[in-house]
Structure 1
Amino acid sequence: MSAGLDTRPNAITFDLDELITKAWQGEIRVPHFQRPFRWGREDVRRLFDSVVNGYPIGSLLLWVRPAPKVDDLVLGSLHIDAPALPQAWWVVDGQQRITSLANALHPDGAKDARFSLGYDLETRQFVAMSTASDKTVPLPVLFNLVELIKWFNERPEIQSLLDRASTVATTIRQFKVPAYQVKQDDIGVLQDIFDRLNNYGKRLSRAEIFTALNAGVEDDAESQLTIPLIGENISAERGFGVVDGGTVLQAILARRNPDVLRDIRNEFSGRGGIDFPDEDRDTAYELTQRALLQAVEFLQEHAFVPHIGVLPYRNLLVVLTRFFAHHPEPGEHNLRLLRRWFWRAATIGPEGFTGGTTGAIRALCAAIKPGRLTDSVQSLLELASSDQRSMPDVRHFRTNQSRTKILLCALWSASPRSPETLTVFDRADLAEALTDQSTAANAVRHIIARRDVPDELRQYAANRVLMPKLSATDSEVLPSLLRRPAGTSTDEWAEMLGSHLITTEMVTRLGTDGYDGFLRARSQKLHEQVQDFLSRMCEWDFEDTPTLAELDFDDDTLEGDDDLPT
């Protein structure tokens, strides 16, 4: 049981202006046992909406203690040169709010899509800058009176709205944020408070518990690789999207032992049954990140899975991480066999394994043997040999379902092109469109406005295209698909349409058969595309044998044997 606080918490109140200035100057720090930043753009938008409406946003709990100098203190997307301080405020409760405010109001922080917000002076709403009108003031400008005056001087046509903007700006800067200051030398007491605060309501995730249990000393925290940082690093390096903490934790555990659901309380105690029993946490994190990067590179370069938003099952990423951790150089033939395994396992799904998802990940991870590349690949293929194949039904489309994600990968393999530039969309376009999204919804558009589609066809995939980047803001992309840019040849235009599984004959049907005929014809085309894609990826009827060089023959067998396989 905790010994309790040395002194009672001291209640104080900050003006929001003062609080954010302290954050920018490095006077506010985040303890290493804190959970990662988890808010999305809508959470940040609602926070500012509460501020201007005068709603309470909750009190902060700040731990008062010295802080070391940090040349690159990271707060959200901000990088701060933080000085050594005899007294700083360490956030025990309120990290999501402080990080959101500090980033959204700073020009550098607002470059991150999660924090890129403005205030629409006409609708009096906070909106994403990606959808801003000419009457939307970016939050960093709104927060800085000098910049606000400059902004209005450049827009004389809306000078009448200056008073409204000034009122909102003043409301934000002067908003009162209550806080409790705690002075306590025993970090265990603070961790106890953190645990109690975060176990009421939304419980800590397993990854967050693992992080807290295996946290290093505070003074080394800035240089430590963490579970959320691994997920962010994967996104930054490969444009794959942020791998969630739960998947990263399973990747860490799977690399070290096939049972990813084992007790995590003594993971680095050197106990038996671990493939790497002597390594410490930092080494495990670093080598897991390396293997996870290889797994993502394999998915993107060999398997047509460009982003985590279209990954059919995340447990397969965990299995791939274990594979590349133990077999980092499998060779081209084994990479092809691995692709077969991946897509066969995806079409079978967890339901093809005893125990569902839990049974699947345990069995697949156990098939990967350290130092035995050929056996590992062959065992994986054997586990994915079931005839229980579940193909996507193109009559149903939901971006959060695995079957639809398989369909989206098939669409990506067709190299979809922009109807505006005729260039092929790349992974960077997809990553930009999805930002912090866990599905591909923001990269999928309706061809025909949903209200104009017959009820029985509204769920059809045939009315969707994978089009992550388009300047047109129409709710439907049909006008863009029918509007051929000047100077574009008929063949170039047909190639662009074909990249979306649309033929010129289908377009002609719009004039004769209407939307119904077009959608039914494209539905058949999508069905053929999925079948062809999975046939190429799974190679069901191919021999799965290893190369001759990998086969293990006894020396006496090799001599004089004319019947060796070729």
Structure 2
Amino acid sequence: MGQQDLTIQELVNKIERGEIRLPEMQRQYVWQQTRVRDLLDSLYRGYPSGTILTWETDEDVATRDFAMEQEASASGSFQLLLDGQQRLTSLSAILRGEPVEVRGRKKPIDILFNLEHPYDLQIITEVFEDDENEDDTDADPDAPEANEDEMAMRANRMAFVVHSNKLAALPNWVSVTRIFKEDNDLAIIQEAGISDLNDPRFKKYSDRLKRLKDIAKYSYRVHILDRAKSYEEVTEIFVRVNSLGAKLRSSDLALAQITARWRKSLEIFQEFEQECIAQGFNLSLAIHLKNLVVFATGQSRFKTVGKLPLDKLKTSWEQAKAGMDYALNFLRENVDIDSPALLSSPFIVITLAAYGHHKNYTLTPEEAKELRYWVLVANAKARYSRGSSETFLDQDLGAIQKGAGVQGLLQSLRTQVGRLDILASDLENRNSRSAYFKSMFMAFKKAEAKDWRDQLVISLKHSGSQHSLQFHHLFPQAVLKKQNKETREINDICNLSFISGHTNRKISDKEPAKYLPDYIEKVGEDELKKQCIPLDRSLWELDRYDDFLRERRKLIAEHLNEYIGHDRVDEEAAE
């Protein structure tokens, strides 16, 4: 194995010229901007940042594109990047000022640098844990939200932050990309308010800008696997290297093992992924791979995927596609769910696919009704978003294989969460990330709740800034903050309704006692009832906020139970 030392700038140039490419086994670019922020901060401090692993080969190996534009290699030869993709893609985007493509969308990586960061670098950065679970399936939907004032205080102690308009407007915060693109720092320093060379800040800012630009000179040790190694051996190295540091998710390692056995299968997977996106279901490749493994092995974990024979992989993929098609059709037509944004977990799709396949896609009307009920209850109760999501998924797959039917799925859910109906107390202290919030939206949409101005039925698919859906604080945030209400109380889902952006801006920070009567006069009380807004006007007064929340919780819980069909299904099961 050879090695060489290359600066970040040299590596970025090689990527731009197409002299470094990605093998098919590599995952897509997935880093959140907070990870890029922390990488820059580590390099700025002079901390070590790992190594790079590449492979030179004469084999005809399938490649995949970087998340940014590349030229074709002038010589026709290139090295395949096995370890370091996330770092080098991020740094390329920053130094070149090029957007990255993430799940079909191009967006810039925009990090700000604090010219006035504290001298004590030990307290600059607080590393916040990013949620990189498999498609957020283990994320806590009711985790507390960050307070804006706290975030501002943290930013002042940091050297790098993800771009925000509020900070970008301040003279001491500068775009990192701009710093790398500017040949002369004088304009940046002048815009920061320095007009006199004798200003002590001039030298401080100049030194800090130079120190930041020197990141491009940071040297990575590049290890190069020799040409004699086979694709299978390189795949094994890739899996081992990335397993040791838990740098890749299990689905990424599984993809490497699958593509080693099934060459150019990534194109096949991505083609079906795009077909699902065209139907409105932008599910990650990880979910499609997990669905494949479920159909191949009967369970959800990727542990045995490397041992599956090629024929089994191909047959299971065809079955998995048929199951996925059924699941998406059922969600869209039977449950009125037309976007994964309305699901508390995409694992619900996998369970539906497995159930349809097990029943040979032949259900009685009663089974279809029960299955709809299970989807809505499992979604509202966040079946796969608490505890070990894969354990719960495997429980449900086992129940399906044993022929326990929908009642078996419901029994597993009862064991996990207790009551299947929704109580007013279940909604207490929930925020907009809660699964109940998604259920609220679906229930209100089913009731044909409309915007109070344009009379469009609420929908995630409205186009245009005026009509795009927003959630509106019935008691405005600014008003409640003046009453010293905590963030948790302000953002309680029972203080939220669904209206258009134009209507939201029109209401601004008016109290409900002032604006709701006007809308009742224009559109009638029914439009408020459809979103479970109490009609007792005394509850719209600011000093009755807590009473308002309690009353609306009761109304929403009743409406959700009716929408889900809890009483109807339970009565039929009892008979």
Q: Structure 2 length as normaliser, TM-score? A: 0.66
> For residues 441-460 of structure 1, what are the structure 2 equivalents within 5 Å?
448=477, 449=480, 452-453=484-485
Q: CA–CA distance in 1 between the matches of 2:64 and 2:168?
A: 34
Q: Which residue of 2 aligns with 1:195?
A: 239
1:255 aligns with 2:295: yes
Q: CA–CA distance in 2 between the matches of 1:526 and 1:191?
A: 52
1:303 aligns with 2:338: no
Number of residue equivalences = 492
Q: Which residue of 1 aligns with 2:226?
A: 183
Aligned match for 1:17, one of 9, 20, 41: 9
Gaps of 5+ in 1: 1-6, 271-276, 368-378, 433-441, 546-566
Over 3 Å counting, the alpha-carbon distance change for 1:25 and 1:191 in structure 2 is same
Q: Which residue of 1 aligns with 2:144?
A: none
Q: CA–CA distance in 2 between the matches of 1:466 and 1:52?
A: 44
Q: Which residue of 2 aligns with 1:33?
A: 25
Over 3 Å counting, the alpha-carbon distance change for 1:496 and 1:197 in structure 2 is farther
Report the CA distance between 1:12 and its aligned residue: 0.8
Report the CA distance between 1:73 and its aligned residue: 4.8
The answer to whether the 8 Å contact 2:54/2:223 transfers is yes
Q: Among the aligned pairs, what percent are the same residue? A: 16
Q: Which residue of 2 aligns with 1:549?
A: none
For each residue in 1:485-528, what CA deviation from the matched residue of structure 2 results, as whole angstroms up to 9, or x when unmatched? 9x97843496775564324545x524274322222222222222
1:125 aligns with 2:169: no
Over 3 Å counting, the alpha-carbon distance change for 1:268 and 1:30 in structure 2 is same
Q: CA–CA distance in 2 between the matches of 1:256 and 1:110?
A: 31
What amino acid sits opposite 1:202 in the alignment?
Answer: A
Give RMSD over aligned pairs.
5.3
Q: CA–CA distance in 2 between the matches of 1:21 and 1:419?
A: 54
Q: Which residue of 2 aligns with 1:109?
A: 100
Over 3 Å counting, the alpha-carbon distance change for 1:384 and 1:259 in structure 2 is closer
The answer to whether the 8 Å contact 1:62/1:181 transfers is yes
What amino acid sits opposite 1:93 in the alignment?
Answer: D
Q: CA–CA distance in 2 between the matches of 1:414 and 1:41?
A: 39
The answer to whether the 8 Å contact 2:111/2:175 transfers is yes
Report the CA distance between 1:61 and its aligned residue: 1.8
The answer to whether the 8 Å contact 1:69/1:82 transfers is no
3-state SS in 2 of match to 1:288:
helix
Q: Which residue of 2 aligns with 1:555?
A: none
The answer to whether the 8 Å contact 1:254/1:319 transfers is no
Over 3 Å counting, the alpha-carbon distance change for 1:269 and 1:302 in structure 2 is same
The answer to whether the 8 Å contact 1:64/1:183 transfers is yes
Q: Which residue of 1 aligns with 2:309?
A: 268
Q: Which residue of 1 aligns with 2:257?
A: 213
The answer to whether the 8 Å contact 1:68/1:83 transfers is no
3-state SS in 1 of match to 2:81:
strand
Aligned match for 1:380, one of 386, 405, 415: 405
Report the CA distance between 1:252 and its aligned residue: 1.3
Q: CA–CA distance in 2 between the matches of 1:120 and 1:468?
A: 35
Q: Which residue of 1 aligns with 2:72?
A: 82
1:46 aligns with 2:90: no
Report the CA distance between 1:94 and its aligned residue: 0.9
Report the CA distance between 1:97 and its aligned residue: 0.8
For each residue in 1:75-108, what CA deviation from the matched residue of structure 2 results, as whole angstroms up to 9, or x when unmatched? 23x3545347554222221111122223454434
Report the CA distance between 1:321 and its aligned residue: 1.9
For each residue in 1:433-492, what CA deviation from the matched residue of structure 2 results, as whole angstroms up to 9, or x when unmatched? xxxxxxxxx97979545783489967954244567969989xx9864967869x978434
Aligned match for 1:95, one of 66, 72, 85: 85
For each residue in 1:403-462, what CA deviation from the matched residue of structure 2 results, as whole angstroms up to 9, or x when unmatched? 6654564456456767897755533579x9xxxxxxxxx979795457834899679542
Q: Which residue of 1 aligns with 2:394?
A: 358
Work out which structure has the larger RCO, using CA pairs closer than 8 Å and 6 or more positions apart in sequence. 2
What amino acid sits opposite 2:162 in the alignment?
Answer: V
Aligned match for 2:324, one of 287, 292, 310: 292
